[in-house]
Chain A
Amino acid sequence: MSVSGIEALGFTPATFSPTLPADVSSARSEAVGSSGFADLVLDGIDRLESVQHRADALSVQAATGDLGAIHDYTIAASEAAVTTQLTVALRNKAVEAFTEIMRMQV
């Protein structure tokens, strides 16, 4: 890239050529594949389920008096809450993108 205006003042702009590691570019081409986003969402839901299951188990322990440490439950519960919010945010974005495309004039 050449910026003649400021080069005239003795300023050489820094050149930046982004290089991606090999595994990133291959992962990207996989994600672009037909089921990339669906897999991503399903993986997210699987993780959400396991996190919620752990929080549920700990809440049962809290109710029955078997809970070893209070923070185990509160941390699991907040982790589940944040994961749920993240999954819902992803789903909302996906739906938003879909409706945006559907509104496209052909």
Chain B
Amino acid sequence: MGAFDTLRIAGSGLGMHQTWLDMLGHNLANVNTARRTDQPAFQAQMLIAESQAGGGVRVDGVALSDPEGRLVHDPTHPLADEEGYVRMSELDLASQMSQLIMAQRGYQASVQVTKHAQESYGAALQIGRG
């Protein structure tokens, strides 16, 4: 355990939440991505977080949503098949937006931890100061 572990742990939290935010941004950017029915649908990314042995969190991997997606009837779509269907991702916009808020709040919480860590270090430096 080092002197700056609080900062390191908060930094790992910041990194994980930033990756999560990136993934949510990617999913939201592709919310209207349509594919041909003979192709897999856009697969939303889901972050898998894992705690670290020495403290902190890390990104353990990325899970992808079902490539089956859902078939949407849109005959005017340039990618539509003979029956007028395209394959859309089964991405839930409301769920993604909720997760976006969670990731943002998590990021802000980690920033708060770094602030408190700095305050604590500052207080420790005051010890013995006349």
Binding site for B on A (CB under 8 A): 69, 71-72, 74-75, 78-79, 82, 85-86, 89, 93
Contact = CB atoms under 8 A, between A and B. Distances in A.
Contacts of B18: 69, 71
Mostly helix, strand, loop or mixed at chain B's interface? helix
A78 B7 contact: yes
Interface of B: 4, 7-8, 10-11, 14-15, 18, 110-111, 114, 118, 121-122, 125, 128-129
A69 B4 CA distance: 19
Contact of B125 (A75, A78, A79, A85): A85
A26 B47 CA distance: 49
B15 A69 contact: yes
Given A82-B4, A93-B128, A75 B121 contact: no
B4 A79 contact: yes
Contacts of B128: 93
A72 B14 CA distance: 9
Contacts of B11: 71-72, 75
A86 B10 contact: no
B15 A78 contact: no
A89 B130 CA distance: 12
Given A72-B11, A78-B118, 8 more contacts: A69-B15, A71-B111, A71-B114, A75-B10, A75-B11, A79-B7, A86-B125, A89-B125
Contacts of A85: 121-122, 125
A89 B129 contact: yes
A81 to B, nearest CB: 8
Nearest to B107: A71
Given A69-B14, A82-B4, A75 B129 contact: no
A9 to B, nearest CB: 38
A86 B118 CA distance: 12
A104 to B, nearest CB: 19
